[in-house]
Amino acid sequence: MRIAVLASGSGTILEAIIGADLPVRLVVADRRCRALEVASDAAIPAVLVDRAEFGGFGPAFERERYTRSLTGALADADIEVVVMAGFGTVLGQSIHTAFGGRILNTHPALLPAFPGWHAVADALDAGVTETGSTVHIATLEMDAGPVLAQKSVPVLPGDTVDTLHERIKSVERTLYPDTIRSFIDGLAAQVGDGRGSAQEVTE
């Protein structure tokens, strides 16, 4: 199973995935970021599909044209499973058409609670006593795909967004690679059993 990791930031999740010896064959970033350096240091091919060339970060952003370009880069590398690791761009329909059921994401909350970009702050504002990390299959609707794994994290007195998020990320760095491995092992077993094409084994 050839994995591509989509990243936008510091690359700490990417480092955890690489450190787990998963078959990462490509890293794709939507902006210049440290994750590209992490890929280079690990001798993994990396591609920058820069949002700046597709309208940037404002209302002029051409989401579907960007998505088609990124999906083309994945196809060129014969990627089979796509893993989002702190990827800051919501992608359009074309990637879900090409890789439906094979795009994984991680979210800093126990979905379906606190979807969206501000999950850690939302958990603190809600006064909950625990939150956590969720690994799920990404769908066109944000944070709404099938859950693959979850692990809870307590909310402690005096927690800030930064302290709570860091504890969630420490859990995520183990939970995510373990879940990715289970997912690709399951796909490989289905293919080995002769159950069909890349599209069929996700059904």
Q: Given the residues 96, 107, 136, 165, select the one marked as catalytic.
A: 107
Question: Is residue 203 situated within a structural domain?
Answer: no
Q: What strand order describes the sheet that includes 130-137?
A: 46-48, 24-29, 3-7, 81-85, 103-107, 130-137, 147-154
Q: Please write the tens of the pLDDT for every residue from 19-38.
A: 999 999 999 999 999 999 99
Rounded Cα gap, residues 127 and 144, in angstroms: 23
Based on the residue annotation, tell me whether 165 is a catalytic residue of this protein.
no
Is 139 part of any domain?
no
CATH number at residue 156: 3.40.50.170
Q: Is-contact 164 7, C-beta < 8 A? A: no
Per-residue pLDDT tens digits for 98-143: 999 999 999 999 999 999 999 999 999 999 999 999 999 999 999 9
In this prediction, what percent of the chain has a pLDDT beyond 70?
94
Instruction: Write out the residue range of the structural domain in which residue 37 sits.
Output: 1-100
pLDDT tens digit sequence for 80-110 = 999 999 999 999 999 999 999 999 999 999 9
Q: Are residues 57 and 129 in the same domain?
A: no
pTM: 0.90
| Whether residue 113 sits in one domain with residue 186 | yes
Distance, in Å, from the CA atom of 160 to the CA atom of 179, rounded to the nearest integer, reads: 28
Q: Are 40 and 21 within 8 A, CB to CB? A: no
CA 116 to chain centre: 14
pLDDT in tens, 133-173: 999 999 999 999 999 999 999 999 999 999 999 999 999 99
- Contact in structure between 109 and 119 (CB atoms under 8 Å): yes
Q: 94 and 5 in one domain?
A: yes
Residue 45 lies in a domain: yes
